[in-house]
Amino acid sequence: MAENIRIALAGNPNAGKTTLFNALTGSNQFVGNWPGVTVEKKEGKLKKHDGVIVTDLPGIYSLSPYTLEEVVARNYLVGERPDAILNIVDATNLERNLYLTTQLVELGIPVVIALNMMDLVKKAGDKINVAELSRQLGCKIIEISALKGTNVMEAAEEAIKAAAQTKTVPQHVFPGPVEHAIAHIEEAVVHNLPEEQQRWYAIKVFERDDKVLEMLKIEANTLEHVETDIKAAEKELDDDAESIITNERYIYIAQILKSSYKKANAGSLSKSDKIDRVVTNRWLGLPIFAVIMFAVYWIAMIGVGAPATDWANDGLFGDGYHLLGIGSAAYEEAAEEYGDTPAILEALEAGEKSYVTVDDETLETSDPIEITDEMAEEAKAMAEKYGEEGPDPANYGVWVPGVPAVIGGLLEKLGTSEWLSGLILDGIVAGVGAVLGFVPQMLVLFLMLAFLEACGYMARIAFVLDRIFRKFGLSGKSFIPMLVGVGCGVPGIMASRTIENERDRRMTIMTTTFIPCGAKVPFIAMIAGAIFGGAAWVATSAYFIGMAAIIISGVMLKKTKMFAGNPAPFVMELPAYHMPTLGNVLRSMWERGWSFIKKAGTIILLSTIVVWFTSFFGWTEEGFGMLSEEQLDSSILAKIGSCIAWIFAPLGWGNWQAAVASITGLVAKENIVGTMGILYGSGDVTAYQALAQAFTTVAGFSFLVFNLLCAPCFAAIGAIKREMNNTKWFWFAIGYQCGFAYLVAFIINQFGKLFTGNVNIIGFALSVVALVGIIYMLFIKKYTEADKLTVNVGK
């Protein structure tokens, strides 16, 4: 069995590298950070080979040190020198992918090529002469399908065999003047290095690679000597050194493909191209994206997610539920028969001749209904039949009591104290349960987003949005962090490292968390369900409000001296459309979902305990102690909330409960739901009913928008601090996020009041001024001229 062998997995983004890594390592993965940087480092033990470690390098297009990912990958390959490189190549896009291969084979490390997506190539009728391609590149090639798991272990086994060799000999020969210069550089500069490494270093010296030149510390007279050869080659070939190498690599690749690759329908459009003519169309691209995202959120929030979440909230974390629905129909029939009996009996007892009904969702009362003698007799009969409490669901079918009922019964048997029962039931169960109740909706959403990413559609959206972003002075590269940030803001912020331009990178860091992350989904669902009757447009609007906030912020910031300049160029590979495997989609869904569940079991658990304690303890006339539900306004949390509630009053929700929920949301955005579950869920009404009473639709939407756009959770704030690497920039970012969120929520509330007839003249006037200011920055103010020099992130 092979021992102590390190295999590096290298390839272009979207070539299937992560899928291959998962297939090779399974659950034997461990995640850390690369030395000196916070870029995630993924390693894993090869299945059935405990002595073989597979390292998943960041997806890169070349070994040029332009982005942090390229720097990290190159430093590992050149400095750590793994025993073998498994280069995953997208067979549907050979020309682009082989550019990296031509560089890898020059490193003097054994290289094995895993030719991925061969099933798609064969399906299209194309032919690749693998033996000829292998001969011309000088390394072994294995045909695989990472998605279907075809030949993946064979590719790894071949890499283990290759590790026993000394090197892979590059077959590519540059034009005479270049080879002449490289030979001189090998002799004068890198002759002390191991023979297999000399060619790669010589080529990099020829390209005048800053990092290599800095590392080699070449003497001035030697550097002057080789510079003469480089300039001679540049003069003869009429181009700069780096461009010469780049062009020659593509000429070499074209020659290889001419003899080893034949397209079945040369010149005709592939299926992916035909689809792209529609989904990336200049006019249809964005509307199609809007429709798809609306469908995703409708299915996740209403179609499939809502019934599952209702079951979790009302059943699992509520009173209970009928197992497999057994008995639910009989209970509903009995409940319908029982009808308005409680209201009629209460009215008769009070001597009234009419009664009103209350809507369970909105708590709105009906017009008075006159009680006839027949209705009175029927109500008494129903009370006798079902009891004054009405039909008990536990008497129908197979009834499973909810978590609160089970824990409450257990605490009662143990004879626990009032405050401990309150902590567990009203604090932990109510708070954490309110958050976990939305897990079904989140899993459905993550499942659908994972499918869109895996099939290749999301890559197209980056392309569509680049065209739009560029009109506003932004780069489509900013969409990649946004896309990653849909799952979690932390990796989204870290993904900004792919942007070379320092100004654009900082601006992307500041605005990425405007996109709703997974942690905000329960909060969005709660507001949509409680205040807007579960309308799908609320969740979808949250996504597009985030995108609009990024565009608006980008335009305004680009017109300041701090961020002025041309947007970073955007180059992205569009993978062929393919049907992802169920296993990969489920794995992606579960990884995101499990991360959320773990957070609920740690951070949110601790937060709910703190919120409960500060909510139910305070000072009364008798002194400090536990409060009843009617005394919550005297609690510690109420006093703190009352001190800051005035800040949010112009936004329409100046009560201490909402103010406190927004602050606890800084710890973790899910905390907003947990806090509301505790503060609004006490008494005879549910949290949903209490929220419907506490917020108007305008104030509710203002509350939603503010918490979507303001500073993210502590983990993401920490990521912003690390990525900015500058205290002033960090505080500027947090200040801008909070200020922008406040301004937008303020405008929404003040303009929204126009439709409710409750206009505040001063507030409305200020909101008009704010809106005019934004419009001025967007459409009237000219872009500031600035130097075009971009800052290299990798330097």
Q: For the residues of 334-354, what is the DSSP string, one character each?
A: HHHHHTTHHHHHHHHHTT-SE
Which stretch of DSSP H or E encloses residue 762?
helix 761-775
The answer to the question of residue 554 being in a domain is yes
**Which range has the top average pLDDT, 77-81, 384-388, 634-638, 739-743?**
739-743
Q: What is the pLDDT of residue 360?
A: 60
Residue 17 marked ligand-binding: yes
Q: What is the pLDDT of residues 659-717, one digit of tens each?
A: 988 888 887 787 788 778 777 765 555 666 677 777 888 999 999 999 999 988 877 88
Residue 173 marked ligand-binding: no
Does the pLDDT of residue 789 top 70, yes or no?
Answer: no
CB 171 within 8 A of CB 134: no
> 212 and 99 in one domain?
no
Residue 11 marked ligand-binding: yes
CA distance 322 to 324: 6
The CATH number that applies at residue 9 is 3.40.50.300
Beta-bridged to residue 322, according to DSSP, are 399
Q: How many domains does the chain have?
A: 3
Residue 408 marked ligand-binding: no
The answer to the question of residue 333 being in a domain is no
Mean pLDDT score of the chain, rounded to an integer? 81
Residue 516 marked ligand-binding: no
Residue 707 marked ligand-binding: no
Does the pLDDT of residue 518 top 60, yes or no?
Answer: yes
pLDDT grade, residue 787 (50/70/90)?
A: very low
Q: What is the pLDDT of residues 85-96, one digit of tens each?
A: 999 998 888 888
CA distance 381 to 115: 77
Q: What is the pLDDT of residue 292?
A: 86
Residue 14 marked ligand-binding: yes
> Which structural domain, as residue segments, surrounds residue 227?
176-262
- Look at 221-230, 282-291, 421-430 and tell me which has the smallest mean pLDDT: 421-430
The answer to the question of residue 508 being in a domain is yes
The number of residues in the chain equals 795
Residue 25 marked ligand-binding: yes
Diameter over CA atoms, the chain: 113
Of 262, 283, 299, the position where a domain reaches its end is 262
Q: What's the mean pLDDT in 598-622? A: 77
Q: What are phi and psi of 77, to 5 degrees?
A: -65, -40
Residue 427 marked ligand-binding: no
Cβ-Cβ contacts under 8 Å for 736 (sequence gap 6 or more)? 510, 553
> 595 and 643 in one domain?
yes
> 184 and 155 in one domain?
no
> 187 and 129 in one domain?
no
The answer to the question of residue 526 being in a domain is yes
CA distance 15 to 89: 6
> 575 and 714 in one domain?
yes
Q: What single-letter DSSP state applies at residue 63?
A: S
Residue 671 marked ligand-binding: no
What CA–CA distances, in Å, run from 391 to 328, 336, 377? 12, 10, 18
> 202 and 58 in one domain?
no
> 142 and 184 in one domain?
no
Residue 549 marked ligand-binding: no
What CA–CA distances, in Å, run from 110 to 51, 146, 156, 194, 748? 18, 21, 13, 15, 61
> 180 and 141 in one domain?
no
Residue 116 marked ligand-binding: yes
Residue 267 marked ligand-binding: no
Q: What is the pLDDT of residue 648?
A: 92
Query: Of 447 and 625, which is predicted with more confidence?
Result: 447
Residue 508 marked ligand-binding: no
Residue 542 marked ligand-binding: no
Of 243, 262, 281, the position where a domain reaches its end is 262
What CA–CA distances, in Å, run from 390 to 337, 382, 508, 725? 10, 8, 57, 63
The answer to the question of residue 414 being in a domain is no
Residue 655 marked ligand-binding: no
The answer to the question of residue 785 being in a domain is no
The answer to the question of residue 738 being in a domain is yes
Of 262, 279, 312, the position where a domain reaches its end is 262
Does the pLDDT of residue 207 top 60, yes or no?
Answer: yes
> 181 and 157 in one domain?
no
Residue 757 marked ligand-binding: no
Q: What is the pLDDT of residues 94-147, one digit of tens each?
A: 888 898 999 998 888 899 999 998 887 888 788 889 899 988 888 899 998 887
> 183 and 103 in one domain?
no
Q: What is the pLDDT of residue 785?
A: 53
Residue 677 marked ligand-binding: no
The answer to the question of residue 282 being in a domain is no
> 54 and 10 in one domain?
yes
How far is C-alpha 442 from the geometric centre of its chain's CA atoms? 12
> 138 and 198 in one domain?
no
Residue 39 marked ligand-binding: yes
Residue 37 marked ligand-binding: yes
The CATH number that applies at residue 233 is 1.10.287.1770
Does the pLDDT of residue 38 top 70, yes or no?
Answer: no
Q: What's the mean pLDDT in 185-208? A: 86
Q: What single-letter DSSP state applies at residue 160?
A: H
In single-letter form, the type of residue at position 441 comes to Q
Residue 12 marked ligand-binding: yes
Residue 15 marked ligand-binding: yes
Q: What percent of the chain has pLDDT above 70?
A: 88
Q: What is the pLDDT of residue 721?
A: 86
CA distance 126 to 271: 13
